[in-house]
Structure 1
Amino acid sequence: MTDNHSNQTSLPEDANRLLRETEAADFLGYSVRALQNWRLRGGGPLFVRVSSRSIRYRFCDLLEWTEARLVASTSDQLDPAPTTETTSEGQFEARRRRSFLRRSQKD
Structure 2
Amino acid sequence: MGDAFAERIRECVLELLIARGPGRTICVSEAAQTLATRSGYHWHDLMRPVRTISAQLADSGTIEALQQEEIVDIRVARGPVRLRLRALPGQRSALPGQRSAEVG
Q: Which has the larger radius of gyration?
A: 1
The normalised TM-score by structure 1 is 0.29
The normalised TM-score by structure 2 is 0.29
